[in-house]
Amino acid sequence: MWLTAGESVASKTSRDVLSRGLGVLRQAIREQPRIFAVAVVGSVLFGGMIIVSARVVGSVIGEVALPAIERGEVGAGTLALAAAALFGISVLRVAGIFGRRLGAGYMQYRLQASYRRRVTRRYLELPLSWHHRNSTGTLLSNANSDVEAAWYPIAPLPFAVGTLVMLVGAIVSLFATDWALALVGLAVFPALFALNVVYSRRMAPRQARAQRLRAEVSGIAHESFDGALVVKTMGREAQETARFAGRAGELRDSLIAVGRLRGIFDPLLETLPSLGTLAVLVVGAFRLRQGAISVTELVSVAFLFTVLAFPVRAIGWVLAELPRSVAGWDRVRRVLDATGEMPYGQRVLDPAGAGPATLTFTDVHYSYPPAEAHPPGAQVLGEVGFTVPSGKTVALVGPTGAGKSTIASLAVRLVDPDSGTVSLDGVDVRELTSASLAGTVALVAQVPFIFDDTVRANIALDRPGVDDEVVWAALRLAEADGFVAALPDGLDTMVGERGTSLSGGQRQRLTLARALAGRPRLLVLDDATSAVDPRVEAAILAGLRSSTTQAGVPAASILVVAYRRATIALADEVIYVEQGRVVARGTHTELLATVPGYVDLVTAYEQAEVERAQESSYGDDVAPLPSGLEIEVDR
């Protein structure tokens, strides 16, 4: 079981955080070596010019300004030469800054974009069981703020590397100037580094906790927005507001703790170089009286300590951000290292022109993973075996919790069986390529999902060959062409987030048309027309059972999870399941005559339909479902 990033980082020693943080930086350098090299060259150029500028400033003051003051005149040529030298150094420093910042920024943003793509790709590879164990807010945080946090130290990293080179050069320059002044430098520079290490150690748990709370705040916000209907109808606005405010307050306090620590250490980091400059002036004045150094050398060293204050801070910036980087990296790696993906094979089925596909379940067993099962390891399906013949319609009927939606998920390979096989045209679905499986089977789920886009975009999904003719043919087959034609802009009508401008039945028919537009050879309907009027549903199923090709939308085999008597009666065969097992099969009439449980269930469904019809006043479709309402899928 994974630890949260906050727990994993906060419990580690500062040395471990430092070593792991440096490991994250090494990973960044391995992935972007050329860009990093450009940034470091710019930073080293900047640092080198600082050391050179200290020498030049010392020479200008000691060899140009002071002699000019003593003589009472300034030589124009000497002054021009000094100005040219300072200007040249400034130009090189600007070039170094430009290279350093451009390289660091480009490197950081490329890494963030790359890992956002990797995390998103991994989300799509992992099975639904993994997604069920992770909240949407956490997943959004992984792909956004956690990726940003992981690579946040990249911006100051080249500057810090250049600063280290500069510090080595500065110490060498100090020893070349005077041993006493060099000792001052040896005292100040390690003190700066030690202070940065202490800062990093204190900052680690605070940054880790803040990163964890960011994900939790995001998760609560997503739940509240997505479940707006439940919150309002249950009168939970105040409680949800308080829940969000409580966690947001914790995040605020955590970030304040981070800021408070920075407020303590930042002045110290600023003060040390200033104290070093003061020490240099005191020791330098003494050494100057002794004749050990010149005014030029004293000014150069004092100026060097003055301008070193800002670059040395870059090391502190990197060390301060390492705990946050490690926290973000842990959370990103948790996704990238997650297991459970379902690899695809290399087999390819015949295209749609080959006719409807045959679906076969052979002795299929399935249990939900321990994290999802109640009790753990409980079997959902056992010894399930049946066939959906080519071009036929098979209805799957059973009480709640019988495993109907699980069978539908297995048919389209959202999950794999523990044992047994699910095959299409005699080929195990695990042996098929992803493209072949997607081109052969289409699932229309119980809860329709509509993108915040046009009707055309929702149905076509930018699939090749799905032009307006195919779109309209699919709409006609889904009995949706009438209401789409009546929309203000027809196919170009924006339907809103989750299709909020449409009724429940309209959304279901659009998702059905979307599936049909892909020309599937097997159509799996998981109670996909529950919000549609029974008469419209009967017309849809009658059209789907047609053996003729309609305007580019071929007929398909159909596996339908059904509840209504009218729907079930249209099927060529009915599979009746109880407690994850097939207990009876035959036509609707045969099961009514031989299976008491089936009779009771269908009668109960029919009575519920009658009562709903009597209470409904919405006509053709069930009333629109406001955004945020989620219907639990019967698994």
Q: How many other C-beta atoms lie within 10 A of the C-beta of residue 619?
A: 10
Give the pLDDT score at 116: 92
Structural contact between residues 560 and 525, judged by C-beta atoms closer than 8 angstroms = yes
> What is the spatial distance between Cα 492 and Cα 483, in angstroms, rounded to a whole number?
13
* Per-residue pLDDT at 476 exceeds 90: no
Burial 97-134 (b: 16+ CB within 10 A, else e): bebbbebbebbbebbbeebbeebeebbeebbeebeeeb
- CA distances to 122, 215, 227, 369 from 133, in Å: 15, 15, 18, 10
Cβ–Cβ under 8 Å, residues 410 and 402: no
pLDDT digits (tens, 9 = 90+) for 259-277: 888 787 777 777 777 777 7
pLDDT per position as a tens digit, 490-528: 888 888 777 677 777 788 888 888 888 888 889 898 877
Rounded distance, CA 251 to CA 483, Å? 48
Report whether pLDDT(550) > 70.
no
Q: What does pLDDT average to over the chain?
A: 78
Q: Is the pLDDT of residue 219 over 90?
A: no
> In 3-state terms, what secondary structure has residue 440?
helix
> What is the length of the chain?
635
Which DSSP string corresponds to 521-578? SEEEEESTTTTB-HHHHHHHHHHHT-SS-BTTB---EEEEE--SHHHHHTSSEEEEEE
Q: How confident is the model at residue 323 (pLDDT cuts 50, 70, 90)?
A: confident
In what helix (H) or strand (E) does residue 586 lie, and over which residues does it extend? strand 581-586
> Tens digits of per-residue pLDDT, 26-63?
999 999 999 999 999 998 888 888 878 777 777 777 66
More confident residue, 87 or 4: 87
The structure tokens listed for 503 are: 């009724």
Residue 594 corresponds to which tokens in the numbers above? 């031989």
Q: What is the separation of C-alpha 521 from the centre of its chain, rounded to a whole number of angstroms?
A: 33
For residue 431, pLDDT beyond 70: yes
The rounded distance, in Å, linking the Cα atoms of 569 and 588 is: 6
Binning pLDDT at 50, 70 and 90, where does residue 361 land? very high
Structure confidence by residue, pLDDT tens digits, 193-210? 777 777 767 776 777 777
Q: What is the pLDDT of residue 633?
A: 34
CB 181, CB 287: distance < 8 Å:
yes
Tokens linked to 469: 């003719």
Give buried/exposed letters for 211-222 (b at 16+ CB in 10 A, else e): bbbbbbbbbbbb
pLDDT in tens, 163-191: 888 878 877 877 887 888 778 777 777 77
Token code pair at residue 61: 């003051």
Q: Degrees (nearest 5) of the Cα angle 88, 93, 96? A: 130
